[in-house]
Chains A and B, each alone.
Chain A
Amino acid sequence: MTKQAAAPKRVLALGATSAIAEATLRLLAEQPASFFLVGRNPSKLAVVRDDLLTRGATAAATCVIDLDDTGAHPAMLAQALGALGGIDLALLAHGILGDQTEAEKDYAVAKAILHTNFLSAVSLVTWLANYFEAEHRGTIAVISSVAGDRGRKSNYVYGASKGGLNIFLDGVRNRIDRAGVQVLTIKPGFVATPMTAHLKKNALFAEPSQVARHILRAIEKGKDVAYVPPFWGLIMLIVRSVPRRIFKKMNM
């Protein structure tokens, strides 16, 4: 991709109060950028908006909706388009970890994870792909997960939601890359965020600010898939290459 123009980037942030999204938006705000911030919690959205404006955002509007409500997506996206006057970058960052143990017992729990992480993203990306394809430019950056690379007993429902998302994004990319649109699948490893607050931390955990720098670099370089931090690419290469007859006996 060519070097970004000096005009502020117009950024649509879906799930703007997620820790990874917020850290990424902070870096964008300094470039500078204007924002349309979408999330569920009005007070958290307002605080994120204030922070971005203080750091140099040229404008920031908020929109309170539950992104599980796919029926509300088209109106919200139209509103974003109106507020920003065009979109240069759409960052999809909403998602839930869910409770694997519950999801094993109760289909409703599994369905909720798949709905939030996969179906609501499909709804958003469908609209965004058509918008950007017609514009012949732009970036759709989606926060997926390394968990989508291979099903493991400890989180395969979450993993399936992200794995499905990865395949969907591969297809969208294949379709609209020729229109000059970047579709970036972001695969973070362990990140110290509120979503993982209950997990024991180890040396593999990265800070959201560190992950955000890698995400921005991947956007600027026009990448298709980015493991963040990049060492997760190697870890997942190994995880994927373990033969299935061995993998199925492992505790992961």
Chain B
Amino acid sequence: MGLMRKSEAAPDQSPQFESWGRYPKFQAEVVPLHWGTDFPLRQPPATRQLPVGLGRSYGDVCLLENGTLLQTVGMDRLLHFDPATGMLRCEAGVSLRQILDFAVPRGFFLPVTPGTKYVTAGGAIANDIHGKNHHVAGTFGRHVLRFELVRSNGTRMVCSPIENPEWFAATIGGMGLTGLMTWAEIHLRPIVSRKLDYRGDKFHGIDEFLALSHAATSEYTVAWIDCVSTGRNFARGIFMQGDHSETPGPLTRSKEPRLAFPFDLPEVALNRFSMAAFNSLYFHKQLGKQKVGPVDYEPFFYPLDAVLHWNRMYGKQGLLQFQNVLPHESGREGMLEILKAITKSGLASFLAVIKFFGDVPSVGMMSFPTPGVMLALDFPIRRELSFALVDRLARITLEHGGRMYSAKDARMTAEQYQAFYPQWQDFARFVDPGFDSAFWQRVTGRRPLDD
């Protein structure tokens, strides 16, 4: 797993790297870090640097053309755990999967988890990730107590809400640009079972989704939404809720995934018809209007982790992810406009989710979540078609006072980004002078978008 080395270029050239979306790809040198003291590098590189974990962001936040990527996955030690409080201190390269393997048998769980466990703790903080419990728990950053930040000039800072608080806020959601995080303290939550109490409700249309969201009482909520079907089936979906089971149950470690997507699917495989079939199958997999029962945490939180390299399904061209949030006031109208644009394009795939973000404030200066309705979905890359669609969706998002998620993006323009995140210039003061990213170059207007 991890950042994908795309190709062995000519001997005198650096290899190319890509993130999970497989677009864009850039040449870079990779320097693996194994110890917190490995940085700053003994021989400082002539290029800019950027920390990178498992490379599971989608676009270019962890890429840097002709740069030096500081790969943190070798820093994967667990430094301290206090079962009385749930506080775990770990190195920044530890993956959420490693944390779960350690924590679940001890009766603890991540405070917030994204849809994959193959991200590092450092990456989770740098992108201030969110999960299905955002409406009650906020972002990952809210559960981070402290961390160490090392600047390329060798300065080491412990950051927390009371120690270097401005660096704490800039680094959470700071996309790795403020320096290298060596370790962090995360507050885990207790559980008594691997199981969750699950409830799935089918819905038709955005209004039914909104009603279910308002009425939901569970800690975890998310809805799968059909972005392909039109007419009677427009915006149908399944609203999924869950709570950690309160009945003591198994606390075993998960097994290794056995399935891997073995090759790149040809581009033609994902088309309007196959996607309509997929969406229809998924909607009808749940037979009744409502389904209730216990479910293991793996399929509930990480259905796609069961198949390694599932991004190969999108072929060599890769995929674009679009994720935005609109404030509640304009959420209904805005999402309708967006969903109509997507279904009309016929470009949507199967993987689309919609959810309410809560009003728990994010800690990070550049964190994505704000109160409102969040939508995330994938498009197979069909160059001008999908690029134009994502640009259109970005404009609608802007018109409705929303914003897009940097970790999922490969196509925002500098103007769009700066409108979504007007605080970007304040943040720029915290960027390490030795650091940079392809994303940051793009959204600060230093790298043009290709067509």
Interface residues of A (CB under 8 A from B): 19, 43-44, 47-48, 50-51, 54-55, 194, 197
Contact = CB atoms under 8 A, between A and B. Distances in A.
Contacts of B91: 47
A47 B34 contact: no
B77 interface: yes
B300 interface: no
Contacts of B77: 47-48, 50-51
Query: Lowest 4 A-B CB distances belong to which pairs?
Result: A51-B77, A54-B78, A50-B79, A54-B81
Contacts of B102: 54-55
Contact of B80 (A43, A44, A54, A197): A54
13 contacts: A19-B34, A43-B35, A44-B37, A47-B35, A47-B36, A47-B79, A47-B91, A50-B77, A50-B79, A50-B80, A54-B79, A54-B102, A197-B32
B72 to A, nearest CB: 14
Contacts of B78: 50-51, 54-55
A50 B82 CA distance: 13
Interface size class of B (residues with CB under 8 A): 10 to 19
A44 B35 contact: yes
Given A51-B78, A54-B78, A54-B80, 12 more contacts: A19-B34, A43-B35, A44-B37, A47-B36, A47-B79, A48-B77, A50-B78, A51-B79, A54-B79, A54-B81, A54-B102, A197-B32
A194 B34 contact: yes
A48 B36 CA distance: 12
Interface of B: 32, 34-37, 74, 77-81, 91, 102
Contacts of A19: 34
A50 B80 CA distance: 7
A202 B341 CA distance: 45
B286 to A, nearest CB: 38
Contacts of A47: 35-36, 77, 79, 91
Contacts of B32: 194, 197
Contacts of B79: 47, 50-51, 54
Contacts of B37: 43-44
Nearest to B90: A54
A51 B32 CA distance: 20
A21 B316 CA distance: 38
A209 B290 CA distance: 43
B46 to A, nearest CB: 18
Nearest to A55: B78
A54 B77 CA distance: 9
Contacts of A54: 78-81, 102
Nearest to B88: A54
A44 B102 CA distance: 22
A50 B75 CA distance: 13
A48 to B, nearest CB: 7
B102 to A, nearest CB: 7
Nearest to A47: B77
Contacts of B36: 47
A204 to B, nearest CB: 15
Nearest to B77: A51
Nearest to A197: B32
A142 B79 CA distance: 27
A194 B34 CA distance: 7
Contacts of A43: 35, 37
A55 B79 CA distance: 9
A242 B77 CA distance: 43
A55 B102 CA distance: 8
B40 to A, nearest CB: 15
A51 B80 CA distance: 7
Contacts of B35: 43-44, 47
Nearest to A208: B74
A123 B80 CA distance: 35
Contacts of A194: 32, 34, 74
A197 B42 CA distance: 15
A194 B35 CA distance: 10
Nearest to A53: B80
Contacts of A48: 77
Contacts of A197: 32
Nearest to A200: B8
Contacts of A55: 78, 102
B218 to A, nearest CB: 32
A100 B208 CA distance: 70
Nearest to B5: A201
Nearest to A193: B34
A19 B38 CA distance: 15
A194 B79 CA distance: 21
Max count, chain B CB within 10 A of own CB: residue among A19, A43, A54: A54
B146 to A, nearest CB: 16
A193 to B, nearest CB: 8
A52 to B, nearest CB: 9
A194 B80 CA distance: 24
A105 B91 CA distance: 41
B337 to A, nearest CB: 48
Contacts of B81: 54
B430 to A, nearest CB: 27
Nearest to B8: A200
Nearest to B31: A197
A201 B163 CA distance: 41
A51 B79 CA distance: 5
A51 B81 CA distance: 10
Max count, chain A CB within 10 A of own CB: residue among B79, B91, B102: B79
Max count, chain B CB within 10 A of own CB: residue among A43, A48, A51: A51
Nearest to B30: A197
Nearest to A46: B79
Contacts of B80: 50, 54
A58 B299 CA distance: 34
A54 B80 CA distance: 5
Nearest to B253: A30
B446 to A, nearest CB: 31
Contacts of A51: 77-79
A19 B102 CA distance: 20
A23 to B, nearest CB: 10
